[in-house]
A and B are shown apart, each in its own frame.
Chain A
């Protein structure tokens, strides 16, 4: 047994569509240590969210299906559990917050009722205890006059406040893992910063591990200890956060970092972008999925899909090219 809190091995998820089977996640393996913050980055449609939803078995089936892999949480495979067993993990051990706070709360239920549900379900509180705790939770995420606002409906809250409610709800049962699926994407920049500060503070207070999905490398730099870069349903680079920014080793990661606007730029330049679009994979790729967009591309890239290999301690990359020399590894 490893010391990993969450250990995902060879996860594969597919979606049945009218155009064929889409291979959304293609053998993803990663681990999460207790109390660690893991950033997952990549463009839209590269399989970040689907990976995490698959782990919690929240993929709508049909059309989605987890076809292979294991996901061990404290030694138990989440993917082999009964529906009843996984329900006791969801919300209680692993909680999730979503991208759009405007749609992730139920519009016809009061905030209070939505908050007390997991408390009564997982912690066995009665209604009064749960209501009192719900008010504390709202207080904790910085909503003023919390006890009065329990009877309000989501549309009476602003976007930033709704995301705070989502965070309060997710943390209500002291989960070991918080999965945050682009929780700041739909918010404006000042609110984004507040939400990130809030999550950092709560992480220090409560000590949960976090998986933070985002396409914003700037957020990851300030928040995560380790980063996974995903592309086309594969993990293509995995590293400690400092090492990733100092020595990005996959052409895609270099492209992502290059397309960040910088404040310390001396000359005004056109913002760099990676040409092309991420692929939709109808067949399991036999070549490197990034090859069509890569400027280091070689013959081998079209013939074999590279596996993750260690390039330096705790830094693994899936690429045939050593970008420092421009030659094959």
Chain B
């Protein structure tokens, strides 16, 4: 198991390099002037100054040189100040939000993470549980209900579902509002009295003992959570159900019954661990789906997360910001896949030993 994890970890630097090369390749479609946003905040108006910038940051140099500069940045000989350099966390300057791209990501990501954590937990717990129940009681009431539920879930486009929820629960009933927090709570959160332990508002609210803020945050997150989780929920349910149905027909399940085990053990100890193997594979894929879904969901509910920021950058052609997000997503994907690989090995011994 340890050697398996070490082998996986050794792959990570290579994957990261692949991602940076891919992103950098995309940067080459921009003009040198546009690329200067990687290093400077304002475009000078006159052409001479522009040329000077291009020269100074080597934007007309061969690709490999530019790649190197993009990685480590350019140090000003006179002042010793470094500009650019993704390895030092400088992803360029975001014109649309008037701050460095990295600051934008770091301020928005906790909101998205907060949302995803609350969306993923019910997906995994309830989706898998319902899938198992549906398979065990095939064609029973739970199964039929779950089937209808999951067909609706998989066939509803995110934006339609999101708008529908907004219409019913906000416009008509007024139960759940879009946005992040009510204004008066936002003021509390931004004040010095509120300690930021995790940057995730729901957790910080609990840690600060402000249960009212926690409830308000959840109230604002309820519809995005519902929208995000419903679709993955339905997929998890379907995959778990069919995988479980297949597993229950396997001979080792009959063996387990022939041993005299109680049905509960047959299902949860013998069948379910086997049925989880394709579900774990799906979990890896659904991280990608969740990140994609987050763009639409956050935009629909005006939720200040990373997806909404990316959507804004994309619609205003802020390419440097976009590529910053792309790089960030690439890193998240690599980490997610690493986690899935390790999970995969814990559920299936055949993976970790071969």
Contact = CB atoms under 8 A, between A and B. Distances in A.
Interface of A: 53, 56, 58, 60, 83, 87-92, 95-96, 98-100, 103-110, 117-118, 121-122, 153, 155-156, 166, 169
B262 A87 contact: yes
A133 to B, nearest CB: 15
B82 to A, nearest CB: 51
B259 A98 contact: no
A251 B260 CA distance: 40
B349 A58 contact: no
Interface stretch (B41-49, B250-258, B293-301): B250-258
Contacts of B7: none
Interface of B: 249-252, 254-263, 270, 273-274, 277, 347-350, 353
B260 A153 contact: no
Contacts of A166: 255
Contact of B274 (A87, A92, A106, A117): A106
A103 B249 contact: no
Contacts of A87: 260-262
Contact of B251 (A100, A108, A118, A122): A100
B256 A106 contact: yes
Contact of B259 (A53, A107, A169): A169
Nearest to B263: A83
A107 B350 contact: yes
A102 B260 CA distance: 21
Nearest to B256: A106
A153 to B, nearest CB: 4
A107 B252 contact: yes
21 contacts: A56-B258, A87-B260, A88-B260, A90-B259, A91-B259, A91-B260, A96-B255, A98-B251, A103-B250, A104-B251, A104-B252, A105-B255, A106-B256, A106-B270, A108-B347, A108-B349, A109-B270, A117-B259, A118-B260, A153-B350, A155-B349
Given A56-B258, A58-B257, A153-B350, A107 B251 contact: no
Given A87-B262, A118-B260, A122-B260, A58 B274 contact: no
A121 B270 contact: no
A105 B252 contact: yes
Nearest to B274: A108
B205 to A, nearest CB: 40
A209 to B, nearest CB: 16
B260 A108 contact: no
Central interface residue in A91, A105, A169, by most chain B CB within 10 Å? A91
Contacts of B252: 103-107
Contact of B261 (A53, A108, A121): A121
A107 B354 CA distance: 14
Contacts of B257: 58, 90
Contacts of B277: 108
B260 A92 contact: yes
Nearest to A108: B273
A89 B257 CA distance: 11
Contacts of B350: 107, 153, 155
A109 B350 CA distance: 11
B9 to A, nearest CB: 24
A95 B258 contact: yes
B134 to A, nearest CB: 15
Contacts of B348: 107-108
B353 A121 contact: no
Given A58-B258, A156-B353, 17 more contacts: A60-B249, A87-B262, A89-B260, A90-B259, A90-B260, A92-B260, A104-B252, A105-B255, A107-B349, A108-B348, A109-B270, A117-B259, A121-B259, A122-B260, A153-B349, A155-B349, A155-B350
A-B complex: 5 closest residue pairs judged by Cβ atoms: A91-B260, A90-B260, A91-B259, A106-B252, A103-B251
B254 A121 contact: no
Contacts of B258: 56, 58, 90-91, 95-96
A282 B261 CA distance: 34
A56 B262 CA distance: 14
Contacts of B259: 90-91, 95, 117-118, 121, 169
A114 to B, nearest CB: 8
A214 B93 CA distance: 76
Contacts of B249: 60
A122 B261 CA distance: 9
Nearest to B253: A106
A213 B293 CA distance: 56
A95 B258 CA distance: 7
A201 B104 CA distance: 75
B254 A98 contact: yes
A152 to B, nearest CB: 9
B274 A107 contact: yes
Nearest to B352: A153
Contacts of A89: 260
A92 B353 CA distance: 34
A155 B351 CA distance: 11
Contacts of B256: 106, 117
